[in-house]
């Protein structure tokens, strides 16, 4: 039913094959669009998205220890280290 199809990667411009098996997989999953990028470019984009988040340093509002957090602290909201945050969550009792 499906036949291999040559496509051109929109990032690198290289031709790649959209195999009959891949087309069947796409159809089974209900994907309507053909892939736009070759495997190498897809993998590059995925790895770039997985790179480490920028971490910020803050002082814990509870114990005063230095804490690393994945968001930029604001002065109007308290920031807690992971230990104090876990203790606070335990104390909430299933909210």
CA distance 15 to 32: 20
pLDDT value at position 75?
87
Total domains, the chain: 2
Are 9 and 45 members of one domain? yes
Which residue(s) pair with 66 in the sheet?
59
> What's residue 13's pLDDT?
97
pLDDT tens-digit profile, the chain (95 residues)? 899 999 999 999 999 999 999 999 999 999 999 999 999 999 998 887 777 678 899 999 999 999 998 889 998 999 999 999 999 888 875 44
> What's the domain range around 81?
56-92
pTM here?
A: 0.52
Q: In this structure, are 12 and 40 located in the same domain?
A: yes
Question: What secondary structure letter does DSSP report for 35?
Answer: P
- The predicted structure's pLDDT at residue 93: 54
The pLDDT assigned to 95 comes to 46
Q: Please indicate, yes or no, whether residues 36 and 69 belong to a single structural domain of this protein.
A: no
């Amino acid at each position: 039913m499906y036949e291999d199809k040559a496509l051109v990667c929109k990032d690198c411009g290289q031709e790649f094959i959209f195999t009959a098996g891949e087309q069947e997989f796409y159809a089974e999953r209900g994907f309507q669009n053909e892939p736009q990028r070759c495997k190498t470019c897809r993998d590059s984009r995925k790895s770039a998205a997985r790179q480490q988040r920028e971490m910020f340093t803050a002082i814990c509002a509870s114990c005063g220890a230095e804490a690393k957090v994945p968001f930029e602290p604001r002065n109007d909201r308290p920031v807690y280290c992971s230990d104090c945050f876990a203790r606070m969550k335990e104390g909430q009792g299933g909210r």
